[in-house]
Amino acid sequence: MRVIQFREALREAMVEEMRRDPRVFLMGEEVAEYNGAYKVSQGMLEEFGPERVIDTPISELGFAGIGVGAAMNGLRPIIEFMTFNFSLVAIDQVVNSAAKILSMSGGQYHCPIVFRGPTGNAGQLAAQHSQNFENWYANTPGLKVVVPSNPYDAKGLLKSAIRDDDPVIFMESELMYSDKGEVPEQEYLIPIGQAKVVRQGTDVTLVSFGKMMKVALGAADEAAKEGISAEVIDLRTVRPIDYNAVVNSVKKTNRLVIIEEAWPLGSISTDVAFQVQRMAFDYLDAPILRVNSMDVPLAYAPTLIEATLPNVKRTMQAIKSVLYCN
């Protein structure tokens, strides 16, 4: 199977859907003339023209609102935020318009829109450009929230998101755009809301999503060197969450560690921990542990970034704690 970059998988998903459905268009800062801030939309202006690949001013609230109105009137916009940190400027349109219109219209208006772009830390970008808001959006009824971890999932999930009749938040990572992975040339879709067991194990379950899957898989490799068999689950979607996949794994391993880049309070890992103890309490042989970013704004200094974010070392400490209850 061919190997392509994460950004190429996203581009293929958008191009294929725009060829398939003339109602789909892309709008955002630098998506057209500049080929995208991260070159995700490279070449799309040449194929589809300025009416379907649209550069915008630095005005997230404005172009998000245009996208919502277009979606309500029968089009299928893809709205790119240069970073989801900037989506806070547009959050009223995302949360109060896109997410609520189906309910407030009594089912008369759908809002088939995708808001996509990078999330989380991307190196030395400091506190205002390094945040994770997956849990914010996942806390909003009416939204679906997707956070892929590899090129294969990125393409299949984005195609499903574009075809969805309701709003989808699609969150990527600047640090993953150059990642490579196998992606088939033939068309495929990945259903929104299905987790994936990416590594089988018997001693402990590790759950994560997005680029933190690298930490989870790295910790599983380290654990294997010490004779510990870790099962690794990629949630892929954080609204809806595939709780059954996690519960079924915990019933086998009896221990759970959740790795997530967001801050600990009100995080995705908080809810996963609650649901697992609710549905599988009698199967747990140790308390559920979470490995989150420290509860502080992310600093600029690389040493402080390393100390703040989840990593393999902290995850290994959590694994040993649930195994040996120390």
pLDDT, mean of residues 6-11: 98
The proportion of the chain whose per-residue pLDDT surpasses 70, expressed as a percent, equals 100
* Same domain for 176 and 206: no
Residue 123 vs residues 129, 131, 134, 175, 176: alpha-carbon distances, Å? 10, 11, 19, 8, 12
**Domain housing 89:** 3-182
Q: For residue 37, what is the enclosing H or E element?
A: none
Residue 326 has pLDDT above 80, yes or no: no
DSSP 123-173: SS--GGGS---HHHHHTSTT-EEE---SHHHHHHHHHHHHH-SS-EEEEE-
Active site residue 129: yes
* Same domain for 223 and 91: no
Burial 101-112 (b: 16+ CB within 10 A, else e): bbeeeeeeebbb
Confidence tier at 10 by pLDDT (50, 70, 90): very high
The model's pLDDT over 126-171, given as tens digits with 9 standing for 90+, comes to: 999 999 999 999 999 999 999 999 999 999 999 999 999 999 999 9
* Phi, then psi, of 84 in degrees rounded to 5: -70, -10
Active site residue 134: no
Q: In this structure, what CATH number is given to the domain that contains residue 312?
A: 3.40.50.920
* Same domain for 223 and 125: no
Of 153, 182, 211, the domain-final residue: 182
Given the residues 8, 129, 134, 261, the one annotated as active site: 129
d(CA 101, CA 167): 10
pLDDT, mean of residues 286-306: 95
Question: In the chain, which residue ranges form alpha helices assigned H by DSSP?
Answer: 6-20, 44-48, 60-72, 91, 101-104, 134-138, 151-163, 213-225, 243-253, 268-280, 302-308, 312-324
d(CA 139, CA 239): 8
* Same domain for 227 and 172: no
How many residues in total does the chain contain? 326
In-domain check, residue 187: no
d(CA 248, CA 239): 19
* Same domain for 129 and 72: yes
pLDDT, mean of residues 101-113: 96
pLDDT, mean of residues 285-312: 95
d(CA 140, CA 304): 32
Please report where in the chains the tokens 């309500």 appear, as a residue. Answer: 72
Q: In this structure, what CATH number is given to the domain that contains residue 7?
A: 3.40.50.970
Residue 272 has pLDDT above 70, yes or no: yes
pLDDT, mean of residues 212-225: 98
Residue 145 vs residues 138, 155, 167, 269, 299: alpha-carbon distances, Å? 6, 15, 9, 15, 27
Q: Is the distance from CB of 30 to CB of 83 less than 8 angstroms?
A: no
Given the residues 60, 80, 134, 174, the one annotated as active site: 60
Of 182, 205, 232, the domain-final residue: 182
Q: Give the contacts of 247 (CB within 8 A, at least 6 positions apart).
A: 275, 276, 279, 280
Q: Is the distance from CB of 131 to CB of 94 less than 8 angstroms?
A: no
